[in-house]
Amino acid sequence: MNEKWIVERAEREGGRLWLYVHDAPVPLACAPKRHMLVDSDALAFAYILETDDRFLYVMIPKPWWPELKAALDAKEPVWLRCGERTLELEQFHDELSYLLENIRGNANYGEVLEQAVQDVFFVEP
């Protein structure tokens, strides 16, 4: 059975973006799938992890998008932390950049998501 883990905190520290999830036992055989999806209804990006028998979705809701943008701009690697376990979310920036370009100006994702992405990731300074 697939699981969703909700990011509860995002923090840039030590040249990395740390995404924190709680009460999610990270399996030892958990590996980054190097792929992301969008949950338009939840206004969240989902980074996919996989084990031998299931997928795990690290859900990154809109409140943490400014940290994603800052890490993307600074080219900082993105790491998941759950308790003492850490895991680099490989190819995160490539996947996020690809999604952002697909969402930009594309009503297929829904107007609310499209506007939210525009407001956070494509705001003119």
The residue extents of the domains of the chain are 3-120
Q: What is the pLDDT along the chain (125 residues), one digit of tens a residue?
A: 678 999 999 999 999 999 999 866 666 567 889 899 999 999 999 999 998 888 999 999 999 999 999 999 999 999 999 888 889 999 999 999 999 999 998 889 999 999 999 999 998 76
Q: What pLDDT is recorded for position 15?
A: 97
Q: Distance between CA atoms of 116 and 109, rounded to whole angstroms?
A: 11
Q: How many CB atoms lie within 10 A of CB 121?
A: 20
Write the DSSP assignment of the chain as a string of letters. Answer: --EEEE--EEEEETTEEEEE--S----TT-EEEEEEEEETTTTEEEEEEE-SS-EEEEEEEGGGHHHHHHHHHHT--EEEEETTEEEE-TTHHHHHHHHHHHHTT-GGG-HHHHHHHHHHHS---
Residue 113: which of 54, 73, 65 has the closest Cα? Answer: 65
Residue 93: which of 103, 82, 79 has the closest Cα? Answer: 79
What is the pTM assigned to this prediction? 0.91
